[in-house]
Amino acid sequence: MFRIDATLTGQWSDTQIRVIERGAAAKFARALGLTSGIHYDPDAARLAGYRDVVAPPTFAVTLLPWQIPGLELPEAGVLHGEQEFEWGEPLCAGDAVSVRGRLDDIKTRSGQQGRMSIVTIVSEAHHESGALAFRARAMLVVTEEGEHGDR
């Protein structure tokens, strides 16, 4: 069951180190239908000025930390309402990035479908050099079903 606790606003997750794997980046690029060699061939990526195979920008969604202490999202009744990214230095195979997330806001609304909570989580990732990899803002909608669980 989802708990609304406004005192969690501002709470950060633990920082996690995520290593970008060449195979995972290539698989993601393939799923998107990307054909550029920079996503598959390390030599092509280096010739283009990158450190190694380049992960597509939206690969960042696989790195988002949702484990914010005290925030318990339900297994059902959660809709992904919105996603924004600010891009920094590209993610390349072999990069180890530090990723953390913060509960930015919780709002409760009533609508035609009943009560819902809008949960906003802001995340950021930095390369070992300290350079920004990305900042993300995700808005999740927890429906009444998710708020109350199975009754």
Asked whether residue 25 is domain-assigned, the answer is no
Residue 51 falls inside a structural domain:
no
Residue 61 lies in a domain: yes
Contact 52, 92 (CB under 8 A): yes
Is 37 part of a structural domain of the chain? no
Predicted pLDDT at 65: 84
Res 1: pLDDT: 55
Give the global pTM.
Answer: 0.84
* Number of structural domains in the chain: 1
Q: Do residues 125 and 51 lie in contact, with contact meaning Cβ atoms separated by under 8 Å?
A: no
Positive or negative, the Cα torsion across 141, 146, 148, 151? positive
Residue 41 parent element (H or E)? none
Domain CATH number, residue 97: 3.10.129.10
Residue 132 pLDDT greater than 50, yes or no: yes
| 73 within domain boundaries | yes
Give the pLDDT band of residue 55 (cuts 50, 70, 90). very high
- Say whether pLDDT at 111 is over 80: no
Hey, is 24 helix, strand or coil?
helix
What beta strand segments (E) does 94-149 contain?
96-111, 114-126, 132-143
The answer to whether position 31 is within a domain reads no
**Residue numbers of the domain that contains 115:** 6-20+56-148
Judge whether 140 lies within some domain. Answer: yes
Question: Predicted confidence band at 148 (pLDDT cuts at 50, 70, 90)?
Answer: low
Q: Do 78 and 120 form a contact (C-beta atoms < 8 A)?
A: no
With respect to residue 28, please indicate whether it lies within any of the assigned structural domains: no
Here the tokens at position 92 are 């390349």
pLDDT tens for each residue of 61-106: 999 887 888 888 888 888 888 999 999 999 999 999 999 999 999 9
